Structure 1
Amino acid sequence: MEKKTTKLCLYLPTELIIQILLRLTVKSLIRFKSVCKTWFTLISDPNFANSHFQFPATHTRKILSLSSTTPPQIQSIDFEENLVSNFSAPLNLFKFNISNFPLQIKGSCRGFLFLCNSWKFYLWNPSTGFYKQIPLSNSCYSRYLYGFGYDGSRDDYVVVLMGYNTNVVYHTSRFEFFSLRDNKWKQIKGSHLSYKNALPNANRDIGGTILNSAIHWLAFRCDFMVDGIVAFDLMERKLLEMCLPDEIDIVPNDCGLWVSGEFLSLWAMRRHHIVDIWVMKEYKVSSSWIKTHVFPINATPYFSPIYSTKNGDIVGIDDGIGLMKYNGKGQLLGQCSFCDDPSESQVVIYTESVLSLPGDIEQV
């Protein structure tokens, strides 16, 4: 007599499935979208993507290196885990096949890169492969300061431009921003001030540093003949000014803004390859600048800090062709190379996400 077999159907409530998926990495979520239609729908839902982004442990902050090849290629480096010795592990490689011209990275926010050339602007999520082209501004200047950030009060992504001309002694800058929610460019009210890039030897238009829902640039105010920091508040949609540390009267050639932990920071390299690092302990309070690091960089003639790890180590760009990691005392902990020519590559800090934008197009 044959025994009857009973198939046991396992059932998990949708709410429990969502809670499990929320705790997976971005790489796993991208792969699991092909498991079934239900999971594809769940993972593709904008509300799920926003909730997933609120779990910091599920997505990794990485350094992306963009080549100027056609089509552009982007290498991904997980410096928290891998940059502990001479880097030899294979790099993740993303390809952006839409543009026929070299691109530059002008910003990174919530998993999206702001890419541009003279003819087109793109917002692109390398993890998902989706991108959105945004219209160019009508302004026409010889140089720009760029910015890209997120306004959480409006659930809005914002691209910011400050245009100025370099062939005049005194000029008026033009600040404007593009709101994805409004789908149009607007000029910032009261922005008829005379700003330009404070870095005297900058050979390209630079992107701003984002912190506390504001984008920051080192800027020279021509009417007052003074260097400082100008910031655009993404929620208030207005400009702010901050002073540099008292020790810095004039911005040196090798100098820049970055985010150290939760603080706005400034680095400057002086003679004999010594790097000084200041941290603004109380945001927007100029008197709160303190010098936190003074250490020699003996292994390279140039070092530009871009990120501080969870244990306080400092990762920076080595002469534009590689990355180096130092501890707080200036001891070299690790290094890796990502290109042979500093003019052929750019780097940016990138946080993985499965977020999407209205009107996204899947990369082909």
Structure 2
Amino acid sequence: MEQLPLELVSNILSRLPAKDLMKCKSICKSWFDLITNPYFITNYYAFYNDLIRHHENLFVIRRPFLSSLKTCISLLSSNVNHPKKYASELLKPPSEYNSEYKYWTEIMGPCNGIYFLEGNPNVMMNPSLRQFKALPQSHLAIASQNTYSITEYGGFGFDPKTNDYKVVMIKDIWLQKTDERQIGYWTAELYSLNSNSWKKLDANSALPLPFEIWGSSRVYTYVNNCCHWWGFIDDYGVKENVVLAFDMVTEVFRKIKVPRVCASSEEAFKTLAPFNESSTIGVIVHPVIRDVKHYDVWVMKDHGDEGSWMKQYSVRHKEVIYKVVGFYGSHHFVWNDDNEGLIPSLQQIKDLRVYGRCEGLRATRYMESLISLHRGNEFSSQFVSCTSVLDTLALPNQRRKFMVSLSQKMKTFLKICYDALVNT
């Protein structure tokens, strides 16, 4: 192999998944130097993910049980050419994060193959390398003497100028004395992976207050180094839709005006999402009322130009569809059905047998990446590795066996209860 040109070796290795490349680092020093080279790492992300673009793989979080907040993190492999062929691999966090009290509610990413999981605790992950980093507690998580927070909205992205991954967290404000919320007012803080610390965003960042954020359905909307949230301004009882944007490079907020996309806020969910290969933003308006038989899609043709919004197309409503729970490239979205199952396409309805209870299901595109979260400034307790196991609850036969076993146990339990009542 040492006689092969370096370009040929690089081309061959670039066709391997990240977990196999990690093993190849141990073959010889020249391979180690190649695989850890920043140029190879950057090119690998684009080359390999383009190579497997027809095999749409999903990164999924879900709460499979009604009685538990515990969240399952999994990689779901689905070949669009063979809709019945899929496999699910469960990523198991270390024991200290694998409990009933550790959970995640939102996925943000991929951002160069890195993901942010919002929850308890907030986490950055590179699932390709099985890297799992719990973020330190933010300053705003500690209540002041006068205020506290209940609701928070996160944003995640990359700053190419400083080669830094950042998380912005917007939190509402409640008064300790009266337990009343300051409606329309929020505070914000920014986390930097490079410094492994949080900072409060100052007045120069200019949160455009007052405003409110809609939380009905959330899809990671990261475009042109900016995070976006769907919100509104309440002007004396009249609600005007707006998009709140935060630039990860300049660290500044701005409001983007939005046209009236539906008759009233009560008639439809509005889901903000990236469009046109993540070059701009759009909104999917999906009906709450069963009589409405279509979804409207509005897109901002030129990102940042408030005058370029236009209704691009409508999609016929499918009865089984509930709402959007994820995004995996261009105009492809992941949907939730009425049974809280995962559906990857409106064109070809198929049940992936992946379920999340109590609206605890989120999914996004899985991208292979060699980018490490290591920065050399974290404590060992904050940076740990995941293990992968077979996701038995997502496999048809195993799920059926599990349900049969559960049913038998319930029958036995009910019989014991019945016998006890008869004998008393």
TM-score range with shorter-chain normalisation? 0.7 to 0.9
Closer/same/farther in 2, CA of residues 83 and 280 from structure 1, 3 Å limit: farther
Aligned to 1:219: 231
- Runs of 4 or more, structure 1, over 6 Å off, are none
Q: Any idea what the Cα deviations from partners look like across 1:54-99, whole Å, max 9, x if unmatched? A: 43524656322213378743232345x33764x4422233222351
1:137 aligns with 2:138: yes
Q: Spell out the pairing of 1:341-360 with structure 2 (5 A cutoff).
A: 341-357=357-373, 358-359=375-376
Superposition CA RMSD, Å: 3.1
Of all paired residues, the percent bearing the same amino acid is 23
Q: Does the C-alpha gap of structure 1 residues 193 and 30 become closer, same or farther in structure 2, counting only changes over 3 Å? A: same
SS at match of 1:172: strand
* Residues 313, 237 of structure 1: alpha-carbon distance in 2 compared, 3 angstrom cutoff: closer
Corresponding letter in the other structure for 1:90: A
**Post-superposition shift, 1:34?**
4.5
For the residue of structure 1 that corresponds to 2:42, the secondary structure is: helix
1:267 Cα offset (Å): 0.3
Match of 2:261 among 247, 272, 280: 247
Q: Deviations over 1:329-361 (max 9, x none)?
A: xxx454433116353432233322111121484
Output the TM-score relative to the length of structure 2.
Answer: 0.71
Q: Given that residues 67 and 344 in structure 1 are in contact (C-alpha distance below 8 angstroms), is that contact kept between their aligned partners in structure 2?
A: yes
Distance 2:364 2:2 in 1: 44
Residue range with higher mean Cα deviation, 143-152 or 214-223: 214-223
Query: In the alignment, does 2:363 pair up with 1:363?
Result: no
- Aligned to 1:287, the other structure's residue is in SS state helix
Q: CA deviation at 1:164?
A: 0.7
User: Structure 1 counterpart of 2:276, which letter?
Assistant: G
Q: Unpaired runs of 5+ in structure 1? A: 1-8
Is residue 319 of structure 2 the alignment partner of residue 303 of structure 1?
Answer: no
Mapped contact 2:282–2:300 kept (Cα < 8 A): yes
**Counterpart position of 1:316:** 335
Match of 1:265 in 2: 282
* Aligned-partner residue type, residue 317 of structure 1: N
Structure 1 pair 265–215 and aligned structure 2 pair: CA distance change class (3 A)? same
Q: Distance in 2 between matches of 1:183 and 1:340?
A: 32
Give 1:82's aligned residue. 80
> What does 1:54-203 align with in structure 2 at a 5 Å threshold?
54-55=46-47, 56-58=49-51, 60=53, 62-68=57-63, 72-79=71-78, 81-82=79-80, 85=83, 87-97=84-94, 98-99=96-97, 100=99, 101-108=102-109, 109-118=111-120, 120-140=121-141, 141-165=149-173, 167-168=180-181, 170-188=183-201, 189=204, 190-191=206-207, 193-199=209-215
What one-letter code is carried by the residue in structure 2 that aligns with 1:96? P
> Which structure has more helix as a fraction of its residues?
2
How far residue 218 of structure 1 moved from its aligned partner, in angstroms, is 0.7
Change (3 A) 1:231 1:346: same
Q: Please, which of 4, 13, 27 is the counterpart of residue 12 of structure 1?
A: 4
CA-CA distance at 1:290 after TM superposition: 1.8
Q: Output the amino acid matched with 2:123.
A: Y
TM superposition shift of 1:29: 2.5
Which residue does 1:338 correspond to in 2?
354
SS of alignment partner, residue 117 of structure 1? strand
Aligned residues: 344
Change over 3 Å in CA distance of 1:182–1:89 after alignment to 2: closer
**Equivalent position SS for 2:345:** strand
CA contact (8 A) 1:213 1:233 kept: yes
Letter of the structure 2 residue corresponding to residue 352 of structure 1: E
